[in-house]
Structure 1
Amino acid sequence: MKQPNILLIMCDQLRADSIGALGNGIVRTPNMDRLVQRGLTYNKAYSTCPVCVPARYTIRTGREPYTTGYYENGGPHLSEEQPLDPEERCGDYLPRTMRAMGYRTFGVGKFHTNPWNEELGYDVQLRSEELMDTKEQWRGDDYARFIADHHPEYSHIEQLHGERTDMYYMPQTSPLPAALTVEAWAADRAVEQIRAGGDGRPYFGFVSFIGPHPPLAPPVPFNRMYNPDAMPNPVRGDLETDFMDEQLAWMNYLIWAEDIDDPRARALKARYYGEISYIDQCLGKILDAVESAPDADNTLIVFVSDHGDHMGDHRAWQKESFFEASARVPFLVSWPARLPAGESRDDLVCLTDLFAIFTHAAGSTQTRDGVDVLAGVAKQAAPREFLFGWYGRPGTPAFKVMVRDKDWKYIYLSNGGREQLFHLKEDQNELVQLAELQPETLSRLRQAAVDEINRHEAMAEALAVGRLRSFPFEARPLVRVRQFNAARGVDDFMVN
C-alpha cells in the first residue's frame, strides 16, 4: 500500500470528556463523533506536560521535557550537556521529518513556537497566534493580515479572538461573524491545502485550532446554543486535596478567576461547549474535504488536544496540573484502510507518541521518547506499564511528577514534598485522596518516578540522595496577568 495522507488536527484546551460520542450527554459534536466512529479512541491519553509550549514541542519532536527542555511556558531549561539548538538535541522536527520521507507538508493555525517565527520545516506554514507582542509579529500573523487585507471593517478590533486579562473567564461572544473567526479561517486554509495536490506526493498536514482556549467567545449563534441552567456545576473535592498543588490557587488569581461562583461557572461551561460545537462545525469542512477525495480510506487522521481545562473542577481554572481535567486529552486515531473502526482502547498513550504514529504510517518508525502505538494495535509491541508526566524545572519547588498505571495515578509536588494518590478505576473525578491509606501502592509508584528520573541526566536535580527532592512549602506571591494587544500599543489598563 502506498504511503497514506496524514492529517493531525489539534484543539487548544479541549477536555477529553467534551465529545458527545464519548459519553458527554450535553455537548453536540457530530464531526468529532464521525472521527470516533471512523477509528480508534484512546481513553487513557495524556499531555505529559499539560501547558501550551511544552505540549507543542513534544508533538513536533516526539520528545519529553527532559529532552526538549520545556517544562513550562518559560524556558527552555537545559543541562550543561544539552545543545542549544532544539533540533540538535531533539532530532528534526516532525514536518521536516515527514518532508524527508516524501510528503508535501503544510501547517495552519497556532504553533506557539519560541521564537514566534521559528522555522519548522513546512512547505506551507500559515500562522494564527493568540498574542502578538510586536508590530512585526502582528504583520507576520497570517490570520491578522487576512482580516486587515480582506475585511478591514474589523481592523479596529484589538483582540480578534476575544478579550483576555480580567475577561479571561467571563462569558463572551466573538467580535467577528462565524464565517470570519480564526477557526473558520484555519478550516478554509486547510481545505485549500488538502485539495492542492498536483505533484503526486501524499500530504502531511497540521491544523491547529486556537479554541476552545479562553476567552470563551463563540460566534453567533453558538454563543446561545447552550442554556447555562442545563450545565452541571463543577466537581469539587475537599479543599485540602483540591489545592494541595499550590499552583492552582495561584493560577486562579493570575487569570482573575479566584472567586467564580456556580452560576458563572455554568455560564462559562455553556460558552465553552458553544465554542466546541462551533469548532466541530469547522472540523466538518475538513472531514468533508478528506472524504470527498478518492484516497479517503488511505488518509490517517489523528485528533488531539494539547491539554485540557479544569473549568472549575477542583476549584481550578486553566491547566498545568495533573488532575484528569487538565492532563487527559482526546486521542482519536483513524485510518480506514488499516485500522478498525469504532473501537475503544485503554492503552496508556500520550502526545509524545504522535511522532511514532506518523513515521510508522509513512514507512520508517521513529519512536524517540514515545512508543509505537500502531505496533501496539497490531500486537507487535507491549503496552506501557507506566506513563509519566513532568512539569516545572527540575530542582525547583515548581517541579511536579505524575505516574499513571492501568488503574492508579500518583502525583508528587516538590513544593512541600506533597503526594497524592487516586484510584482512577473507581474514582474518575479524583475526589478520594488515598496517599495515607495505600502505602504499598504509593511506594511502588513513587519508586517508578525515581527510577525514571534516574534514566535522564537532564532531570538529575529533581532527586536528592536517591529520593524525590522536596522544598519547604511556600506559596508564591500573587500577581495578575495583563494580556492586551501589545502589537497595537496596548499593554495595560488606562487607569490603575
Structure 2
Amino acid sequence: MAGRPNIILIMTDQQRYDSISALGYPYAHTPNIDAMIEKGVALTNCHITAPSCVPSRASLFTGYYPHTTGVLANGQKWQRTWVESLRDAGYRCVNVGKMHTIPYNSDSGFHERYVVENKDRYMEGRWYFDEWDKALAAQGLVKQQREFYRERADYRERLGCFDWELPENMHSDAFVGDMAKWWVETYPPTEPLFLQVGFPGPHPPFDPPARYTERYLKRNDLPLPKPTKEELDSLHQELKDKRQHDVEVDHDSVVWSLDPSEDQMQRLWAHYLGNVTLIDEKVGELLASLKERGYLEDAIVIFTSDHGECLGEHGLIQKWSMYDIVTRVPTVVWSTAGRFEGGRTVDGLCQLFDLGPTILDYAGITPPETFEAKSLRPALEGRDWTPRTHVFCEQIGDVAMAGGVEFMTGVRSDRWKLVHFKGSTDGQLFDLENDPKEVRNLWSDSDYQDRKRELLDVMRDWLIESNFKTRDVMAAAR
C-alpha cells in the first residue's frame, strides 16, 4: 500500500439517494452500483452544499462553501480546482463528461478534458459545441432538444419525458460512458490516474431509450408521490411561486403541472429510473475496462451525484429547494485493494465537498488548512471520526427561483432542519425524526420557537466562523 492509488470519481447529475436498489429502493435496477456499495463504504448521510449544479460542483472541487467561492447559482464563473494539486503531484488527470465549469472548457487542473455538458443546453454556453455535439454532427444527426420537443402536440403533458429516438450509443450518458471506456482502453497505461467521469443524467430531459423505461412503466408498485392539498397550501410562498413558474417556463424541456395525473407520474418516474439504469450499465462497462487495464489493482473508486431531484414530491420538480430528496445524495467509496474494509455504511453527517480533501489525503497531499471541507479518511478506515453536527446548504436566486426571495440558507442536524429565506419572515422547520418526509412545517408553531432560535444561532455562528477562517482565501481572490 506504499504507492498512490488510482482515483476514479464517477458523478451523475441530479440523482436522488433513493434511486439505487442497494440503498433501500428495491424498485431500481442498478446491479453495478449495487455491487460497488456491497464492496465499498456507503455514506448514507452525505449532503450537498448547494441545490443546483454549478455551485455544488464549484464547492466540491474547491473545498469551500458557496458563499466563500462566490459561486451561488448556475452560470457563475468558476474554474480553479484542487485537481491542480493532483496534477502537480504527478497524477494523470482526465475528465470525460460533465464538470460544469464556467467556461465549460477551462483546463481546471486536468491534462485532458473531453467535455460533455447539459443534455438540454439553452442558456449559458448555448452555442458551445462539446464532444457530444461534434459526434452527433459528424454522423449527420441533429440532437433532440427543446426547440423540437416544443413542436410536439403533447409537449406540455409529457413533464419532460421523451424517448431517445436517435442511435442508442448517441444518448449523452451512453456517449460519456463509451468515451470514458475508450480512453481507458486506448491511452497508454499511466499511473497514478485521476479520472473524473461526469454523466449528464438523470438530469432532465428525462429521455432514455425506450427499452430502459419499459420495465418501470410495467410496474404498478412504484411509490409515486401524492402530496396533499394541506401540504401544498402550507408550502413557503417561494416554493408556491416556483410551482407556478415551472408550469409557465420550460426549464430543461420540462413543463410542470400543478396537478399531474397518476399516468404522468408513472411516466416521469419510469423515465427517470430508466436513465439511472442506463447509467448503471455504463458504470459496469467502465469498471470492467478499468479492471482489464490494471487500474483497479489499487484504486479508490467513488460514485456520487451533485444534488437530487423532487420528481413530484412536495408538488415540485427539479431542485432549487432544500428537502432531503434534493440535498442528500448517493455516495459510495470503494477501495479495490483493501485500504479500508468494505461492505459497511457510515451514517454520520458529512458533506459532498468532504470528498475533495479525502481524495487529496489518499493521494498523499495535505489539504490546505483553510479548507472548509474535511477528509473522510478516518471514517472510511473505521478510525475515530467525529461526524458533522450540522450540514449547510445555500442558494442565491436562480433561473427557477421566481419569487421575491433572493437567497436561501439551510441547516440540518441529525434530527432537525431549518431553511431561512432572505427577505421573508416565513421559513421552514422540520422534525426529521417524527416527520422524515418533511411535510409538517413547524416554523410558526409556538412549541418550537426555541428550536428555531437555536438553529438560527447555529447558522449565524457558522457564517461568522466561515468568514473568519477563509478571510485570506477571499482576500487572495480579489
- Contact kept, 8 Å, 2:105 with 2:113, in 1: the verdict is no
The 3-state SS of whatever aligns with 2:18 is: coil
**Match in the other structure for 1:159:** 145
Query: Structure 1 residues 289 and 141, CA, compared in 2 at 3 Å: closer, same or farther?
Result: same
Residues 11 and 304 of structure 1 are in contact (CA less than 8 Å); yes or no, is this contact kept in structure 2?
yes
Cα distance change of structure 1 residues 63 and 103 upon mapping to structure 2, 3 Å threshold: same
Could you say which residue in structure 2 is the equivalent of 1:299? Answer: 299
Residue 446 of structure 1 is aligned with which of 445, 456, 469? 456
Is the alpha carbon distance of 1:137 and 1:391 closer, same or farther for their aligned partners in structure 2, counting shifts above 3 Å? closer
User: In the TM superposition, what is the alpha-carbon distance from 1:235 to its structure 2 partner?
Assistant: 4.5
Query: TM-score, normalised to structure 2's length?
Result: 0.85
Name the counterpart of 1:65. 66
1:162 and 1:6 map into 2 onto residues whose CA distance is 40
Q: Give 1:217-366 correspondences, 5 Å limit.
A: 217-227=207-217, 229-236=220-227, 238-246=231-239, 248-253=242-247, 254-255=249-250, 256-263=255-262, 264-337=264-337, 338-366=339-367
| Residues 53 and 113 in structure 1, CA contact (< 8 A), matched pair in contact too | yes
Answer yes or no: is 1:128 the counterpart of 2:134.
no
1:26 aligns with 2:16: no
Q: Secondary structure of 2:345's partner?
A: strand
Q: Deviations over 1:24-59 (max 9, x none)?
A: 121111011011112111111111101011112112
| Aligned-partner residue type, residue 433 of structure 1 | N
Conserved in 1, the CA contact under 8 Å of 2:63 and 2:373?
yes
* CA deviation map 1:51-105 (0-9, x unaligned): 01111211221221112111111446xxxxxxxxx57xxxx51322211121011
Secondary structure of 1:310's partner? coil
SS in 2 for 1:365: coil
Q: Distance in 2 between matches of 1:266 and 1:199?
A: 45
Q: Residue 194 of structure 2 aligns to which amino acid in structure 1?
A: F
Is 1:146–2:135 an aligned residue pair?
yes
- Does the C-alpha gap of structure 1 residues 446 and 55 become closer, same or farther in structure 2, counting only changes over 3 Å? same
Question: Alignment partner for residue 424 of structure 2, among 411, 416, 420?
Answer: 416
Q: Is the 8 A contact 1:400 1:414 kept in 2?
A: yes
Task: Determine the C-alpha separation between the residues in 2 that align with 1:308 and 1:136.
Answer: 23
Q: Which residue is 1:383 aligned to?
A: 387
Post-superposition offset of 1:212:
0.7
Residues in 2 aligned to 1:206 and 1:19: alpha-carbon distance in whole angstroms: 21
Compared CA separation, residues 201 and 162, structure 1 to 2 (3 A)? farther
Whether the 8 Å CA contact 1:348–1:383 is kept in 2: the answer is: yes
Name 2:475's counterpart in structure 1: none
The aligned residue for residue 491 of structure 1 is: none
Read off the aligned partner of 1:185 and give its amino acid letter. F
Aligned-partner Cα distance in 1 for 2:415–2:12:
27
Equivalent residues of 2:42, 2:346 under 8 A apart: yes
Equivalent-residue separation in structure 1 for 2:259 and 2:366 (angstroms): 47
Measure the CA separation in 1 of the matches of 2:82 and 2:266: 39
User: Which ranges of structure 2 fall in alignment gaps of 5 or more residues?
Assistant: 399-403, 470-478
Is the 1:13–1:308 Cα contact (8 Å) retained in structure 2? Answer: yes
CA 1:122 to 1:168, structure 2 compared with 1: closer, same or farther past 3 Å?
farther
Q: Distance in 2 between matches of 1:262 and 1:134?
A: 30
| Match among 178, 184, 194 for residue 174 of structure 2 | 184
Unpaired runs of at least 5, structure 1? 77-85, 460-496
Any idea what SS the aligned residue of 1:6 has? strand
Against the structure 1 CA distance between its residues 356 and 301, is the aligned structure 2 distance closer, same or farther, given a 3 Å change threshold? same
User: SS state of the match for residue 349, structure 2?
Assistant: strand
Seen in structure 2, the aligned counterparts of structure 1 residues 287 and 199 have a Cα distance that, compared at 3 Å, is: closer
**More displaced stretch, 190-199 vs 299-308:** 190-199
Q: Which residue of 2 aligns with 1:109?
A: 97
Question: How far 1:380 moved relative to its partner?
Answer: 4.7
Is the 1:7–1:302 contact (alpha carbons within 8 Å) kept by the matching residues of 2? Answer: yes
TM-score by length of 1: 0.82
Equivalent pairs counted in the alignment come to 442
Alpha carbons of structure 1 residues 383 and 232: separation in structure 2 relative to 1, 3 Å: closer
Contact 1:297 1:335 in 2 (8 A): no
Give the counterpart letter for 1:291 in structure 2.
K
Check whether the contact 2:244–2:258 (CA below 8 A) recurs between aligned residues.
no
Say if 1:187 and 1:283, in contact at 8 Å, map to a contact too.
yes
CA displacement at 1:124 relative to structure 2: 1.3
Distance in 1 of aligned mates of 2:92 and 2:147: 30
Most deviating of 191-200 and 255-264: 191-200
> How far apart are residue 277 of structure 1 and its match?
0.8
- Aligned mates of 1:314, 1:18 — CA distance in 2: 18
Q: Quote the residue 2:165 is aligned against.
A: 175
Residue 194 (structure 1) aligns with: 184
* Amino acid corresponding to residue 369 of structure 1 in structure 2: E
CA contact (8 A) 1:168 1:215 kept: no
User: 1:347 offset after TM fit, Å?
Assistant: 1.8
- Amino acid in structure 2 at the alignment position of 1:20: S
Who is 2:377 aligned against?
Answer: 374
Q: 1:2 to 1:195 in 2, by over 3 A?
A: farther
Once the two structures are superposed, what CA deviation does each residue of 1:276-328 show, in whole Å capped at 9, x if it has no partner? 11111111111212333445241111111111110000000010110011111
Query: CA offset at residue 166 of structure 1?
Result: 5.0
SS in 2 for 1:11: strand
Counterparts in 2 of 1:291 and 1:117: CA distance versus 1, 3 Å: closer
Q: CA RMSD in A?
A: 2.8
Closer/same/farther in 2, CA of residues 425 and 339 from structure 1, 3 Å limit: farther
8 Å CA contact retained: 1:128, 1:142: yes
